[in-house]
Structures are given as C-alpha cells and as structure tokens.
Copies of this chain bind each other. A is one copy, B any other.
Amino acid sequence: MKKKVIVSLSGGLDSAVVLAQALCENYEVEAVGFCYGSKHNKFENKAAQSLANYMNVPFRLIDMRETFKNFQSSLMADSNVKIPEGHYEAESMKSTVVPSRNIIFLSILSGLAWSVGAEEVWIGIHAGDHFIYPDCRPKFFEVMRRAIEIGTDERITLVAPFLHVAKRYIVQRGIELGVPFELTRTCYKNQETACGKCGSCIERLRAFELNNAEDPICYTSD
C-alpha cells in the first residue's frame, strides 16, 4: 500500500511543484487548501482546485474565514493597507505577514493527516520566504516539526522539500516535472489578472527569467 501524504496546496507555484514532487515519489496524495480571507484567496483557491484536477488528486478546501476574521495584515481582504509593490525581500513587504498563518495551517494539516491515515504533511515553504515570514524559516520549521511529532505521538511528520531552495530552482524542478504553471496563482492583489508589480509577482517573474523560461500566465499591462 502506498504511503499517504497531505500536500498543502495554496494554488501558488511552489505548492504546485511540491504536489508534483510528491506524486513523482509515488505517494498517495490528498491536497488541502485554505480559504482564510486574503485579498487573493479566491483566485488562489480556484487555482488549487484546477491544479488538483489536472494532477488527478482529491482536493479539500477548508473555510477558515471565521478564524482569521480579526487577523491583521495588508494581505487580508478587510484591510485598508495596500499590498506593497517592489522587491519581495523589502522591509515594506513585511505588512503582508499574516500572523501565525503557517503555524496554523501546519497544525490543522497534522490533525487532518492523523484523521485520514496520512503520515506526512508536505508544504512549499522555500528560501525566498525566509526574510519576510518568521513561520517559513528553517529554524521555525525544525522546531515545529518536532512539536507536531511529539503532539501526535510520533504519528505525523512535516516535510518541506524546498525549505532551503531558491524559487528559481523550484521553477526548474517544475519544468522537469511538467507542472502546468499556467494554472498557478501567485499575485497578492485582489484582481483576476496578475499585477506583475507586487513582491510576489516580481519574485516569480525573476525565477522564470533565471531559467530562460517564459511565465505562461498573463499580467496586466498598466
């Protein structure tokens, strides 16, 4: 019997490659996304569903808008703070931190994994996240993995295959694995077509450029 793993599938580029990687390693995979009320969430969730359909894995979307309702971040739909433009590793991008978001997602996925008989939770955090997001850094991840192992009586462990990997190499791996990048959603803004100007878009475009590859999604021209 195949080992079962849960993949945290945001609909972004990184988690799409993580999903492809888990399938390539021949695991039984269930993908899970979260609807938590960010500005770009409805586009992300749609992308995650499309990716799961394409890769033929079951997808579960957990509605957590009630839980995140009072969380402060420029990323949240009810925030008046604008999504910052510019480089992903700029000080200004720190307004996009959603307090404890990954801590929360990993916790829930560990409980769900336990309930559905999965042994691992895979997540797409990577080297580019380290500067801004404290709950994406290796030091956090290692301690959190241990907390979850102990808190689940060693049933569940966390896997972050790209923890130390820069986004350009994630794109490279995605190209090797045939990931349908046209289905992914990266932009932080509340608009259908990616802006090409927020930190998240800029980091994505740069990663394709460094691979001499073309990003297949559309960007607004203004």
B residues in contact with A165, CB < 8 Å: none
Given contacts A71-B111, A99-B115, A111-B100, is CB(A147)–CB(B143) below 8 Å?
yes
B residues in contact with A182, CB < 8 Å: none
Q: How far, in angstroms, from A52 to B198 measured CA to CA in the complex?
A: 43
Which parts of A108-141 form the interface with B (CB within 8 Å)?
108, 110-112, 114-116, 134-135, 137, 139-140
Contact with B along A48-78 (1 / 0, CB 8 A): 0000000000001011101110111000000
Contact of A108 among B67, B116, B152, B156 (CB under 8 A): B67
A102 interface residue per 8 A CB criterion: yes
Query: Copy number in this complex?
Result: 2
Q: Flag if A110 contacts B115 (CB, 8 Å).
A: no
Q: Flag if B146 contacts A116 (CB, 8 Å).
A: no
Given contacts A66-B63, A67-B62, is CB(A114)–CB(B100) below 8 Å?
yes
